[in-house]
Amino acid sequence: MQDNLQARTLAFAALCQAVWQVQQLARYGRADEEAMSHTLGAVMITDPDSVESVYDRHQLNAGFRTLVDQIGDGNRKDVDLTRYIVGILALERKLAKNSAALGMLSERINQVKRQLHHFELTDPQVLANLASIYSDVISPLGAKIQVVGNPEQLQQSNNQARIRALLLGAIRAAVLWRQLGGKRRQLMFSRGAMVKAAMQALK
């Protein structure tokens, strides 16, 4: 798989878009079904040939904008989104070092793939299974990500399932970012190049 700035920026934008969707659900109960399908569909692609076979950059405008806001030099950074991104990257590192969790994750994703022969990706039953994968396999690996928002939205079981499913989608993006050579220090020392690549993608 290619290892270059554009590919890494694409994967990181996918992570940003996933956590942005989490925030939209938590605060307002809003979910763009197409964007959610794109994020969750990537979880099902476990042996890709390229980053473009996982994510379509034309479907990641919100992710590129979030990336620019979060790691750029402007004053539009959102503390909660930063916390979600840091939390996802930390959980992905724990996952990468845990062979038992990786095996269980693969097995559970294959179960969902079989379920997709009968249901759409955003069907409540599928979302519930994706959410349980996050709760059972990913969340116990490290510090839990505390999602904040409107209590009325957070208490709804369908929103809880969608949020956890999207956090699993964020993990998928983080895994791909690492596979493409992504490292935490790049968020500090290569921010300018990533922001430039993201802004190019938005044109």
How many separate domains does the chain show? 1
Looking at residue 48, which CATH number applies to its domain? 1.10.3890.10
How many angstroms separate the CA atoms of 187 and 193, rounded?
A: 10
Q: Alpha helices, DSSP H only, in 29-98? A: 33-44, 61-71, 79-96
Q: pLDDT tens-digit profile of 130-173?
A: 999 999 999 999 999 999 999 999 999 999 999 999 999 999 99
> What parts of the chain have a pLDDT lower than 50?
1-2
Closest CA to 53 of 138, 165, 166, 179: 179
List C-alpha distances in Å: 40 to 73, 95, 116, 203: 30, 18, 12, 25
Q: Which domain holds residue 144?
A: 5-202
State the first-to-last Cα distance of the chain, in angstroms, to the nearest integer: 25
The pTM score is 0.95
**Can you give the pLDDT at residue 2?**
47
Percentage of the chain modeled with pLDDT above 70? 99
How many angstroms separate the CA atoms of 10 and 135, rounded?
A: 26
